[in-house]
Structure 1
Amino acid sequence: MDRQVQKPEGVVLTRKGLATRQRIVEATSALVREHGTAATTLDDVRARTATSKSQIFHYFPGGKEELLLAVAEYETDRVLLDQEPYLSELTSWQAWQNWRDLVVRRYREAGVHCPLGVLITELGRKTPAAQALTGRLLERWQDRLRVGVEHMQLSGEIDPGLDADRVAASLIAAVQGGVTVLLSTGGIGHLEAALDTSLALLRATGVTPRWRDPESDVASMG
């Protein structure tokens, strides 16, 4: 007999039920990636998951909107995971460049059908739950970037006088601004430009002396 599991909203699901619910979420995420939000219907989800209409509404009583919110929650975890191992190890400019390349590649592959765009550009505008979910994601993301900025400040690679938390917030704004343009136009160029410019400006604030040729120093003393 399956052990029962209590969900936060008070609905009790068995292990099997949780697995079914997760399978529906992952299948819907894939459909959104393939066809976009508007073109993905509950009938598509039923066909992809071999579930009935009653099953869909059992796990997602709010219908498509609730299901898309669950997809967005699933995608928020993937957003941070997809940026590893670099996001947690932003200790050199090469690591920052690797992080930048990873972010750009992820959104280039997702294109206009990025499932997280559902949360940021659609659900987040009208659903308090989606706004709260977005806030939690950005808080976690900003915290990891802040740690990276602080590390670079300690090594003199970034001006220690800058507010690390505000720098991290500006980097997220650069990413999300570029993603918004991507979702509107299909072009990745604005995201690349925003990240490249932000990182170049940060790098220019460094106070670490440039490497000098010892022989040149000797010659200048002679």
Structure 2
Amino acid sequence: MRYLIIDDEHIAHKIIMEYCEMLPHMKLQKNCYSALEALKYLNTHQVDLIFLDINMPKLKGFDFLKTLTAPPKVIVTTAYSEFAIEGYELNVIDYLLKPFSFERFLKAVNKINDSNTVSKSTSIDENTSEIKRIFLRQNKSYIQIEIDTILFIEASGNYTKIVLINEIITIREKISDVLETLPSDNFLQVHKSFAIAIKYINKIDGNRIHIREHTIPIGKLYKVNLIKILN
């Protein structure tokens, strides 16, 4: 993912770059210290993602964003929370309040990986399908998995098990937090402790769902969710 940093503070560039270096698919294109510098760069180059500060001299972040006819994905990074509503009206992916942790940064980047649409500034072969991935924290490291390989997820105490086609990963996250990173159209919570990938349902038998060799219970409070997709 080709990214651009637009911020008048050098420390902000340093933090974002250090975070992105931990994610192997992120590639820095340029450090811009003003919106005018970024406009000049974007006239001749394409990027997939912009990390955008709001309060900059000469041309403010949102004013810059309004000048773009086909903007790439945008994650706002700012110390000013009062502009969040305006940011979402401009369809930014996420709004990070400085100082932000790596975990919060990762959540924002994962939203882009989950997006069903490719950035308007990115051209891809029509015969090539986009591979969607997310990063998950496992102990002190971060692992990348393809969303399409997830069969179901299961709450297990303070942990959540991610059951993939070929392996099982256990992470120290609440099931609700994991679900927030997954596309809602593809996954469905069917029990307080289980959420499934809809495409892998083999059979629904009474209060149980069969996915390959696994059997998942259906909770009474979640039956209505299942009825919706059956209809």
TM-score for the superposition, normalised by structure 1: 0.25
Q: Say which structure, 1 or 2, has more relative contact order (CA 8 Å, 6+ apart).
A: 1
Q: More helix by proportion, 1 or 2? A: 1
What TM-score comes out, normalization by structure 2 length? 0.25
Please identify which structure carries the higher strand content: 2
